[in-house]
Amino acid sequence: MKAISSKIGTIIIIGIFLFIGLKSCIKTGMTLNKTEVYQQVNESGESNRVYIAPGNTIILKKQFEDQYEYGVYHVKGVNVTHYFGPLYHRGESLLGFRIYPNAKDVWDVEMELMDKGGNLTNSTFKEIGTSFRDLLIFRDNSVEIGNYTYNKTNKTSQDDQFIKLAVLRMQNKP
């Protein structure tokens, strides 16, 4: 009886290691194929909007009263391995396990600034061509980029127009 329980325990441990090891080998490339709008309004009244657009484009627009600026980012990345419930694994070591409650999709992304504009004289965005790595966490009604959470909002015709103009301007840059 002792020998059987020992074999069962060994098989379970080997199964867990195989599950964790093989599951982490499967990666999916990121594809953003629908337009969504998210917004965050801070205490001072500054409105930050995130536009998710097809072609792996994210536009971040910062606006305070009549002053605004925006940055157009090209995003590429892979999914973070999802095991079960809120348990995800980011990275290649055992220390990469994280819990992301209520997450639908978690992506490890590289965001490259392709264009920026607005009516400010000094931009708060970095230089065009600058890139950085971050996490993109999609939930039912929000998206989290880095340490900032933006709540989903209804897309308006002005949003559609702004997205088209920003993407068109980026594509026409040399």
Per residue in 9-48, pLDDT (tens digit) is 777 776 666 555 555 555 666 677 788 999 998 888 888 9
Range of the domain at 101: 27-171
In a domain, 65, yes or no: yes
In a domain, 19, yes or no: no
In a domain, 20, yes or no: no
Q: Is the pLDDT of residue 94 over 60?
A: yes
Mean pLDDT of 101-128: 89
Sheet bearing 87-89, strands edge to edge? 81-84, 87-89, 97-99
Q: Which residues of 107-134 are buried (b: 16+ CB within 10 A; e: fewer)?
A: bbbebebbbbbbeeeeeebeeeeeeeeb
Overall domain count for the chain: 1
Q: Residue 86's CB: how many other CB atoms inside 10 A?
A: 13
In a domain, 16, yes or no: no
Distances (CA, A) of 28 to 67, 78, 107, 119, 169: 39, 5, 9, 38, 30
Q: Please state, rounded to an integer, the average pLDDT across all residues of the chain.
A: 83
Mean pLDDT of 161-168: 84
In a domain, 116, yes or no: yes
In a domain, 144, yes or no: yes
In a domain, 134, yes or no: yes
Confidence of residue 69 (pLDDT cuts 50, 70, 90): very high
In a domain, 92, yes or no: yes
